[in-house]
């Protein structure tokens, strides 16, 4: 692998000890991956700021002590604390202190304290064709698929090393020839009515992750009015149930003006006709609970957008929840809620805002067992193992009606 003169200078310590260590890590990872060179990046999104143990704190504080400064704009993923509502986090004091130290270390390195898993809705939107180094699975798949930026699936600690050096290994999805679809998914048998419904997209993503793994697929026949939040839900679910980092939607996403463009003019390795039966089976698979009493409703994985809050308020229609309804979101959205005067309306309805974090990455729920209802494919996938709660999956309307009724309510007419 070849390093440029500038990259060798960073390796030799011209930018400080921390940058030199980061360059050693990035260049060695590139060598292991078989890269011929590194590629300059325009931004990074850092997942390592989420507390998983003291070793992560030690690593970040060592970088910060070595005068580390990010070389590119670097947004921060969720932390383990809600800095706006610290009383909502039920971590022991020692873990709270370590989580705070970790978050502070990344800010000290010049990272932007966005504290959101949806940086693309907080103003961090790389342009099509730009190379970036993003961590957090849903952010990765959104950047690649919806924005057309180029990133591999970067994990904790590799993300900050790329940010400090401004470089990433030139392999995988950074290379244009690796971004073409190999799987063609024909959605012609799915009703146009269902294609307009938000509830379809987490299910479609969960199905895609299971059948595609980390292969790239192109959807043919989805609506050209599919929304950003729907694509967000599709990608997040696919990146949780599988290793999806990029998908295409013909006529919608930047690298898929046509099916042929997404496939680079080549026949697909696999052609799959999506059936209503397979979607219904996937929807049912996403629920792990039976008829047990419902304990909590949680939405916002990825973080709830202001448009999703507008729909939540419409569905509530002035009613109050009988069960906790937790909406996880970013501080960029709470600023919009305050400006719109919606925070009192949400509070009056019994909606609890959780900011800077979410219910599956830190201790928020008082019990370590029970039943959680969600409209999020990502929550549905992770909740049983990370919160101890079994899951009921439904639409946002189902979640609202269940929270108001205090028991599971599901209207599945749209799947008929």
- Say if residue 253's pLDDT is above 90: yes
Quote the CATH superfamily of domain 287-410: Aconitase, domain 3 (3.30.499.10)
End-to-end CA distance of the chain: 56
Average confidence score pLDDT of the chain:
97
pTM for the whole structure: 0.97
Q: Are 81 and 115 in contact (CB under 8 A)?
A: no
| Residue-level pLDDT at 291 | 79
Per-domain residue ranges for the chain? 5-177, 180-284, 287-410
Write down the residue that tokens 């694509």 correspond to: 231
CA 261 to chain CA centroid, Å, is 26
**Is pLDDT at 130 greater than 90 in this prediction?**
yes
Residue corresponding to tokens 């900011």: 355
Q: Looking at residue 416, what is its pLDDT? A: 82
| Strands, E assignment, 270-382 | 270-273, 296-304, 325-329, 351-355, 370-374
- Residue 130 to residue 143: CA distance in whole angstroms: 10
Kindly indicate whether the domain formed by 5-177 is annotated with CATH number 3.30.499. Answer: yes
pLDDT of residue 338: 98
Q: Give the tens place of pLDDT for each residue, 87-112.
A: 999 999 999 999 999 999 999 999 99
pLDDT of residue 230: 98
Q: How many CB atoms lie within 10 A of CB 221?
A: 17
pLDDT digits (tens, 9 = 90+) for 257-299: 999 999 999 999 999 999 999 999 999 999 999 878 999 999 9
pLDDT mean over 390-415: 96
74-76 sheet: strands from edge to edge: 74-76, 44-46, 133-134
How much helix, strand and coil, in percent to the nearest 5, is found in the chain? Answer: 45, 15, 45
Q: Give me the pLDDT at residue 260, please.
A: 98
Instruction: Note the pLDDT tens digit of each residue in 147-197.
Output: 999 999 999 999 999 999 999 999 999 999 999 999 999 999 999 999 999
**pLDDT tens, 317-346?**
999 999 999 999 999 999 999 999 999 999
Q: Do domains 5-177 and 287-410 have the same CATH topology?
A: yes
């Amino acid at each position: 692998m070849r390093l440029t003169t500038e990259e060798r200078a960073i390796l030799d310590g011209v930018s400080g000890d921390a940058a030199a260590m980061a360059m050693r890590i990035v260049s060695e990872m590139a060598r292991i991956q078989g890269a011929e060179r590194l590629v300059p990046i325009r931004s990074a999104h850092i997942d390592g700021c989420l507390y998983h143990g003291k070793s992560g704190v030690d690593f970040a504080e060592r970088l910060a002590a070595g005068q580390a400064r990010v070389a590119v704009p670097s947004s921060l993923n969720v932390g383990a604390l809600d800095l706006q509502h610290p009383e909502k986090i039920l971590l022991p004091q020692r873990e709270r202190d370590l989580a705070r130290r970790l978050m502070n270390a990344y800010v000290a390195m010049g990272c932007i304290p966005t504290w959101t898993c949806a940086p693309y809705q907080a103003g961090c939107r790389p342009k099509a064709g730009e190379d970036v180094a993003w961590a957090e699975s849903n952010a990765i798949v959104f950047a690649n698929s919806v924005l057309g930026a180029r990133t591999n699936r970067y994990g904790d600690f590799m993300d900050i090393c790329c940010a400090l050096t401004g470089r990433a290994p030139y392999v995988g999805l950074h290379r244009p020839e690796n971004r073409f679809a190999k799987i063609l998914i024909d959605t012609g048998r799915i009703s146009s009515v269902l294609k307009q419904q938000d509830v379809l997209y987490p299910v479609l993503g969960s199905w895609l992750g299971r059948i595609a793994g980390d292969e790239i697929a192109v959807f043919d026949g989805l609506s050209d009015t599919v929304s950003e939040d729907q694509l967000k839900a599709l990608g997040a679910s696919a990146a949780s149930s599988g290793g999806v980092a990029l998908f295409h939607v013909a006529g919608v996403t930047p690298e898929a003006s046509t099916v042929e463009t997404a496939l680079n003019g080549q026949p697909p390795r696999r052609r799959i006709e999506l059936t209503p039966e397979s979607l219904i089976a996937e929807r049912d698979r996403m629920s792990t609970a039976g008829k047990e009493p419902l304990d909590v409703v949680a939405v916002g994985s990825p973080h709830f957008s202001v448009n999703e809050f507008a729909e939540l308020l419409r569905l509530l229609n002035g009613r109050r929840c009988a069960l906790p309804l937790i909406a996880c979101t970013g501080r960029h959205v709470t600023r919009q809620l305050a400006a719109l005067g919606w925070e009192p309306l949400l509070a009056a309805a019994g909606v609890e805002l959780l900011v800077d974090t979410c219910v599956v990455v830190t201790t928020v729920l008082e019990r370590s067992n029970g039943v959680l209802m969600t409209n999020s494919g990502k929550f549905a996938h992770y909740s049983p193992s990370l919160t101890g709660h079994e899951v009921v999956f439904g639409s946002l309307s189902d979640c609202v009606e269940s929270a108001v009724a205090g028991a599971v309510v599901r209207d599945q007419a749209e799947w008929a």
